[in-house]
Structure formats: structure tokens, C-alpha cells
Structure 1
Amino acid sequence: MASDRQQRPEGASEDWTIAQGWEDYSAADHAMWDRLFARQAKMLPGRAAPEFLAGLDILRLSKPGIPNFDELNERLMKATGWQVVAVPGLVPDDVFFDHLANRRFVSGNFIRTPEQLDYLQEPDIFHDVFGHVPLLANPVFADYMESYGKGGQRSLAYGGLDNLARLYWYTVEFGLIDTADGLRIYGAGIVSSYGESRFALDDPSPHRIGFDLERLMQTEYRIDDYQQSYFVIDSFEQLLDRTLRTDFAPLYAKLAGAAAHSTDSLLPEDRIFTRGTQDYARSRAVAA
């Protein structure tokens, strides 16, 4: 939800928040949420991390219709001290980080149209709330997100924003986790996407690589299609511990002089879960 946009929209507060306007949603808006929810809820058991599925239950997101943030926040605050706040779209980086550092997750308050069922460029309330918020009910992941926000505030002074954005992308948005029952998805960009929920686990095309903080922060990513590589954490505790114990300042300095790894790269030191064929990416390139 961060961007380089700097002009605060009319009607937004100093922190860029707005009223959710729950009473303004139409019957069609609520029906779209229900349609998206039913489709994902049916396919995610056995695919999504147990912590994500538990969050759906804790927050009672299966209740019909678009969640009312006032009701949702009562349950979320009780679980981990987080809350969801509505914003009018992408917000500046410093605003985004400040909200995360103070346990506030920013969410768009609009929902996609039927024509945007499977893809839209700017995240809507389904992506933000269904995709992100269930894991905020998990204490360890909730701490990671707060830590990320505080780290983001520090990154602005070190010129490390691009590298830190890759950490968010490959964990919060498109992360996989290794469990006793096999790989599972937890990134919001995957769990909220019908197509990528299947692709990320089942398709032979992408690489699936063990989590390594420096390697990940040096790797480019796709914003226009399914990922060519996914990074796999061993646990949410590993993710939190690795980021809390790292002094990012020298890491930013090191990465500033290093070339980025391509989205389909494999390195000799990588811990490889799946060596992908990259057939999907090649077929898309030919089609273009």
C-alpha cells in the first residue's frame, strides 16, 4: 500500500486515513465480497498456512458481506493489538511505515468490479482485508509486521527502500512456508488470488527457494504476473527472529553496490525446494 505519491487527497486526515463508509456499500459490493470469499475459502484448506486459516476463524471473516472495520477491529485488537484503518488508495512510504510501526494496517475501502474479478492493479478491500488481516491475528506475524514498519522508517535514512520493498514483496505478499504437511501459502497476494493460490504450490514453472534475507533483498520481482520465484520460510518465528537480529544499515550499504538478481535466478548457495522449469514465464514472453 506504499507509493511515492505525496499529495494527500481531499477529505483524508493528516495520517491519510478516511472513514470506511461501510453504510455506503451497495448490495452488489457485498455480493462481490461474498463471491470472492466463497471461492477462496473453498480452495485454501490444505493450501494456506494453518495460522492464516485460524485467523479467518478468530476474526469471523466468514460473516456475509464486507467486514465493518469497527467490528473487525474489536476482535483484532483483542487478539494482537492491531487495527485496520481505511485509506483512499496507495499512501506515501513514510505514512505507510508509521501506520505499521504503530500496529495499524492500511486498507483500501473500495471493492473490485465483476470485470476485475481476477486482477486489478491497485489493491482493494478484499486483497487488503482477506489477504492480509487474518495473519495479523497471529502474535508472531503481528510482531513481524510491526518490526517491518519500524525498519521501514529507518530505511528512509539509509536509501534502502528498494531492498526493503523486496522483503515485503517476497514475504508479506508472496511468501510460502514449509510445514510438517508440506509447503503452504501465506502471502496476501497469493491467498487472495484464485489463480496464484494454485500456481504458487502446484505449477512446475516457478522456483521455490529457502528463505535467505540478503538473497531475497537482492532479488527483483514481478508486478505484472505470477512470480518466477517464491521464497520459503521455515516458520514465522524464523522470519521475525532473522529480521530483528539483523543490523540493516551495513546490509543496505552492501546491497547498494551489488547487482540485483533476476526474478528467475538460482544461485549455487540457494536451498532449493523446487527447481522451476520457467515454462510459464517463457510462454508469456513469447505471447507478448
Structure 2
Amino acid sequence: MSPMPEAPPPGAAPDWTVPQQWARFTRAEHALWDRLYARQLALLPGRAVPQFLDGLKALDLGAGGVPDYRRLNERLMRLTGWQVVAVPGLVPDDVFFGHLSNRRFVAGNFLRRPDQIDYLQEPDIFHDVFGHVPLLADPVFADYMQAYGEGGLRSMRHGALHKLARLYWYTVEFGLMETADGIRIFGAGILSSAGESRFAIEDPSPNRLGFDLMRVMRTRYRIDDYQQGYFVIPSFEALLRQTLETDFAPLYKELAALPDLSPDAILPGDRVFTRGTQARPVSAPAQ
């Protein structure tokens, strides 16, 4: 992977945002968005948390084609004060956290190609907008995302960003929630993936463990394959409360003295929803 540029690329503002230029999306790209949307919409009822499905309706993301951020933001701002801003690609950590702390979600400004429909490494507009944005219409989750951005800026001062990144990974990207109807998905990396939408809930291979803040921040994660383990939160309210009530500075010191855990580890004190078979082959070393 190429190193992150130190300055915004040509055409980007000092905060790395760029105009979406919605009119530049082609008919074929709009059709591909609709194809991806329809596929996930058929899969996610009964698998996704109800707040996500409610957000899809509230934001009208299925209106047809790639969403126009101007219209999307009108709805989102009224609901929770958040907005989506386009960026040319991955942005530096401090820029990312700065936007989150000001209730701005950065989204890639390109759509995957048809031959990448099932996987691509860099997040595109479908992952960012379909996967992430509907939950920003939920007031509690919206507050959690802002709190995470503020915490991210603080973590950089403690040299602990790699620990806090695991919290984002195992909640915002690959989180599960315990509900009265069973375990449901809220992580965007799962919600935007047809294969992992099934795997995360139904496959016997991964562990599904109860969420514990320190446990999560000790656990490495995979970037090359489906997860070997997922963490299950009790609710968005509980996640937000723990994030706001925790003093992270002493937690980072404690974490520095503890060994990291492998993505497939199960500890004696874990609450185990599913003890996975780990039958899915590991294609590369865990990251």
C-alpha cells in the first residue's frame, strides 16, 4: 500500500474534502449501485439490526442510483445533525477523527467496478454510504460515532491509536448486537458484503463473544478474509455509555503491559455466544 500523502491532493480542500460531482456518475454506475442495493436489501431483513433498516427508509437510500449527498444530507442533518462529505480516498487519521468529532462522515468518491462486486480492498461509496450512513440516522449510534472521533484524537496523543482502532473495527465495521430476536449485524463491513452478511450470523466457523472494552482493544483483527471472531454488544446505549464513562488514559497504560490476543482466541472469562469451529481456511497471517 502506498504511503499516505502528507498534504491533500490537488483539487481537495485543506480538510481533504472534494465536491461529490454527482452528475459525473455514469448510467452503468447507477445501475451497479442499484444491483448492490437490491442484493443487500434482500439479505438483511432478519440479519441486520432494525435501526439499520429504519435508517435505510428514513434516508431513502434506495431511491435509485448513487445517492446525491446534497439530498442525503438534507435528511440526515434534520435527523441527527450529521452530514456525509466526499474525499478522494483514504485520509490521515487526524483528518478522519476531526471530521467524526464534528459529525461529518467521510466517504470515498468512487464506486467499485462490476468485477469487484464481491470484494475490493479500499472502501468505496457503497461500503461507506450504504454500510455506514443509515445508522447515523439513529441518535444513539450517531453520538457514539462522534465520541469515537473525539477519542481518536486523544488516542494519538497517547500513542495508542492502534489499540483504539480495534474498537472501531469490532464495532463500527464488524459489530454484532444481541437483540430479543437473536444476534443481528450492525457493522458496515458486514452490512455491505453479501457473503459476510450470511457468514457473520449463520456460519459455524467464527467465534461470537460478548463485548468487553479491554478484551476488544487487545484483540488483533484480519483485513484479508472474513473475521475469525466477532464481538456482540448488548445495545447502542450500552456501547455509548461505556465509551463516554471510560477514562482511556489509564486503560491505554494497562493495555501496554498486556499481550495482544489472536483473532480466534477465547479466554476463560469470555461470554461465549458461539464457540466457532474455525473451519474456514486462514488465507494469510492475521493483521
Q: TM-score range by the shorter chain?
A: over 0.9
Contact 1:5 1:90 in 2 (8 A): no
Contact 1:20 1:109 in 2 (8 A): yes
The answer to whether the aligner puts 1:115 opposite 2:99 as a matched pair is no
- The corresponding residue for 1:199 is 199
Where in structure 2 are the equivalents of 1:1-288 lying within 5 Å? 4-282=4-282, 284=283
Cα 1:238/1:281, change in 2 over 3 Å: farther
Q: State the superposition RMSD in angstroms.
A: 1.2
TM-superposed deviation, 1:258: 1.7
- Structure-1 separation of matches of 2:224 and 2:7: 26
Equivalent position amino acid for 1:17 in 2: T
1:279 is paired with a residue of what secondary structure?
coil
Equivalent position amino acid for 2:193 in 1: S
1:184 is paired with a residue of what secondary structure?
strand
1:17 is paired with a residue of what secondary structure?
coil
1:280 is paired with a residue of what secondary structure?
coil
Aligned residues: 283
- Structure-2 separation of matches of 1:281 and 1:79: 43
Equivalent position amino acid for 1:93 in 2: D
- Structure-2 separation of matches of 1:6 and 1:152: 19
Which stretch of structure 1 is more off in the superposition, 44-53 or 3-12?
A: 3-12
TM-superposed deviation, 1:281: 3.3
Equivalent position amino acid for 1:175 in 2: G
- Structure-2 separation of matches of 1:120 and 1:27: 21
Q: Deviations over 1:169-225 (max 9, x none)?
A: 000000000000000001000000000000000000000000000000000000010
The 4+ residue runs of structure 1 with deviation greater than 4 A are none
- Structure-2 separation of matches of 1:261 and 1:148: 22
TM-superposed deviation, 1:5: 4.3
1:63 is paired with a residue of what secondary structure?
coil
TM-superposed deviation, 1:14: 0.4
Q: Deviations over 1:17-55 (max 9, x none)?
A: 000010000001101100000000011000000000000
- Structure-2 separation of matches of 1:241 and 1:165: 18
- Structure-2 separation of matches of 1:239 and 1:28: 40
Give the gaps of 5 or more residues in structure 2: none
- Structure-2 separation of matches of 1:9 and 1:118: 29
Equivalent position amino acid for 1:157 in 2: R
- Structure-2 separation of matches of 1:268 and 1:5: 43
Contact 1:228 1:281 in 2 (8 A): no
Cα 1:206/1:6, change in 2 over 3 Å: same
- Structure-1 separation of matches of 2:239 and 2:5: 29
- Structure-1 separation of matches of 2:54 and 2:181: 16
- Structure-2 separation of matches of 1:68 and 1:253: 44
Equivalent position amino acid for 1:180 in 2: A
2:280 is paired with a residue of what secondary structure?
helix
Contact 1:205 1:281 in 2 (8 A): no
- TM-score computed with the length of structure 1 as normaliser: 0.96
- Structure-2 separation of matches of 1:253 and 1:194: 39
